[in-house]
Amino acid sequence: MMDQKQYADYVKKHAPSSPLLKNLLRAFWVGGAICAVGEGLLLLFSHLGMETKDAAATATVCLVFCSALLTGLGIFDYVGKYAGAGTLVPVTGFANAVVSPAIDCKSEGLVLGVGAKIFTVAGPVLLFGTLSGVLWGLIYWLLHMFGVM
């Protein structure tokens, strides 16, 4: 049996090194490009006469649709392998996290496969994101109630 130190040495010796700077640059430019596309869509829809709020919602829907479509076609996986965390720009990463399990489980049927597994990755994000929002809202409300803020 190996102890923790021996195991850590073994992993360090056998794990491939990660080119940190290259990965950071890839994540930065791909994430920035996704954001630029979103901003371009926002400007386009605003130019077409939509109010800013409606244009922002429409741009978001377009990004979610494109992300889901690219995931379904298997293209988003290649982009993710290339850009790493750069694809985790919240709305596109979330769409990918919802669609990927659904695709993986489609052979199990619509109810027991897709329906049951579609939120396996995104579900905890929704749950804990909502829960933390409620808790912070409660803290904020209490602070205001006692005149701290």
Burial of 50 (C-beta count, 10 Å sphere; 0-12/13-18/19+): middle
The whole-angstrom separation of Cα 96 and Cα 18 is 24
Q: For 14-26, write each residue's pLDDT tens digit.
A: 888 888 999 999 9
Helices (H), 1-149: 4-14, 20-47, 52-72, 75-83, 90-104, 116-117, 122-145
Confidence of residue 51 (pLDDT cuts 50, 70, 90): very high
- pLDDT for 128: 81
Q: For 142, which DSSP code?
A: H
Enumerate the domain spans of the chain.
21-118, 122-149
Q: Which residues contact 64 (CB under 8 A, 6 or more apart)?
A: 91, 92, 94, 95
Predicted TM-score (pTM) of this structure: 0.68
Concatenating the DSSP letter of every residue in 88-128 gives G-HHHHHHHHHHHHHHHTGGG-IIIIIIHHTTTTHHHHHHH
